[in-house]
A and B are shown apart, each in its own frame.
Chain A
């Protein structure tokens, strides 16, 4: 997949608002593979909504979301499954980890599906992010910042054309967010993928090629 095209997409909840000023909603926006984007917004402007449209778990909008030249409204269940497994990785703002499982299992539950990374690489990422000693800790017992790092690792154990990181560093200190950005960009470069980061102000210190105001 080379591009994601949003053609005059507007969430139904914004249908009534007259003074909508946005560089994404009701615009034609194109995200290309291999490039780095920042989507900035105040809260309540629909960042997560934007992500959910691209990952395909909400469809309450007008306009069209195109992957290359395919309209995603025509996608069947198996098309979305393939997208989520092979083409688009999503780091959820609310993380969506499984509190009953350990940090290691939370990553493995994804890696077993894709068989994409070996254990050594994953372990190395844990170490780099400073949570190497938390492999066997239950997610429910970890702080939100630690959980964010686990969620990032999980987002990376799959092939992707685009990585969608929804407020990835909201609970991280500068040092850890730099390391995380580093790992993320290295992996994205290796895969030649596009990266879309959203933020409500605090954002990863990266060379964004384009910043869009939601």
Chain B
């Protein structure tokens, strides 16, 4: 094989192969980086809130100067709710119910009192809450109430309170450390409940309790009073649907949570990453052509040698192998360097992402490794087949 290689390496153009190597390296790196980055950043937008399915949006009326001065309400009348329900894009609509009575609560962490306040609860129909089965239910009379807190509370606590008091920081796994005591009085009753915090939501800016508790407690502590809802929750087929935005604008409503924003961001992120990856792929394909052209040129320049080798008894596989090994070697080098570079780049941007979103799962390089292997296999197989094809055409004396 050494002598064959000594023969066949004649006319190898180093600049051409260096050109291929770097072109392929950049292409591969861009594709892998795009994909890996997409996989790493996606959770920031998608798995942010485990208690609400992704295609829900929350709608409220705009509160402007006019409302404050004129005293017009910002509540939804039953007719308005009906109208929303009748929109084709709304597959399900629910209203926010709020407490009609006074609630006092005090929240503590690990026995240390953090917050004493008069506040209110809200509830939405249970099927909008995507909590683990069994954790989100209330039977009238029970003294333990499941609660979902706004994530902002916990951020406030973690960065403001816990930091300065050297208290433990709370993460999703440590919700059990929160004591939430509730006192309710109204209609001649006074009662004490224990809040069981089951998690945080960044999309529901309210203290959420089960609908069953809300119905029971409103009836018990404030029978007869009723207020119209100020917010609606709506399930839509596609939050980025133009009709949704149009309808909301036309009615003078606003979408309260950042879901639309996140959805749009995700969409743009996906689009940008796709574009970047396409550019990477185009570079890769072009580099593949460079390689194929240089190999073809090489085979052409060495065609008489190759023919002689075939005539003295070498098989097409024998003579194709040095070139196939050469390309596989180059491809392997490219793959390894791309992985290595990606490791450092990812290390850098993951540091930034993790500072901004401490809760995010740090993930692995597996997507890039798998995609890299796929690209490597694809390119190498194409190379092997193309070279073999070229040698066979010399065998058949078509050149």
Whether, in the assembled complex, A206 has its beta carbon less than 8 Å from a beta carbon of chain B, the answer is no
Complex CA gap A55/B312 in Å reads: 10
Interface size class of A (residues with CB under 8 A): 20 to 34
Whether the Cβ atoms of B6 and A77 lie closer than 8 Å is no
Whether the Cβ atoms of A110 and B308 lie closer than 8 Å is no
Beta-carbon contacts under 8 Å, A79-99 to B:
81, 84-85, 90, 92, 96-98
Complex CA gap A89/B315 in Å reads: 15
Helix, strand, loop or mixed for chain A's interface? helix
- Spot the interface stretch: A64-72, A100-108, A126-134: A100-108
Whether the Cβ atoms of B305 and A77 lie closer than 8 Å is no
Whether the Cβ atoms of A98 and B305 lie closer than 8 Å is yes
Whether, in the assembled complex, B378 has its beta carbon less than 8 Å from a beta carbon of chain A, the answer is no
Complex CA gap A101/B312 in Å reads: 15
Whether the Cβ atoms of B3 and A108 lie closer than 8 Å is yes
Whether the Cβ atoms of B3 and A84 lie closer than 8 Å is no
Whether the Cβ atoms of B3 and A96 lie closer than 8 Å is no
Whether, in the assembled complex, B81 has its beta carbon less than 8 Å from a beta carbon of chain A, the answer is no
Beta-carbon contacts under 8 Å, B311-329 to A:
311-316, 318
Beta-carbon contacts under 8 Å, A134-188 to B:
154, 158
Interface size class of B (residues with CB under 8 A): 20 to 34
With A101-B6, A101-B7, A108-B3 as given contacts, are A158 and B311 in contact (CB-CB < 8 Å)?
no
Complex CA gap A57/B308 in Å reads: 11
Whether the Cβ atoms of B313 and A113 lie closer than 8 Å is yes
Whether, in the assembled complex, B189 has its beta carbon less than 8 Å from a beta carbon of chain A, the answer is no
Whether the Cβ atoms of A77 and B392 lie closer than 8 Å is yes
* Residues on A with beta carbons closer than 8 Å to the beta carbon of B127: none
Beta-carbon contacts under 8 Å, B349-399 to A:
392, 395, 397
Whether, in the assembled complex, B82 has its beta carbon less than 8 Å from a beta carbon of chain A, the answer is no
Complex CA gap A61/B55 in Å reads: 74
Beta-carbon contacts under 8 Å, B2-44 to A:
3-4, 6-7, 10
Beta-carbon contacts under 8 Å, B109-127 to A:
none
Whether, in the assembled complex, A58 has its beta carbon less than 8 Å from a beta carbon of chain B, the answer is yes
With A58-B397, A98-B308 as given contacts, are A158 and B313 in contact (CB-CB < 8 Å)?
yes
Q: B186-212 interface mask toward A, CB cutoff 8 Å, 1 = contact, 0 = none?
A: 000000000000000000000000000
Whether the Cβ atoms of B313 and A81 lie closer than 8 Å is yes
Can you list 18 A-B contacts with CB-CB less than 8 angstroms, sorted by A residue number? A57-B310, A57-B397, A77-B315, A77-B316, A84-B312, A85-B313, A96-B308, A96-B311, A96-B312, A98-B308, A100-B6, A100-B10, A109-B3, A109-B312, A110-B312, A110-B313, A112-B3, A154-B312
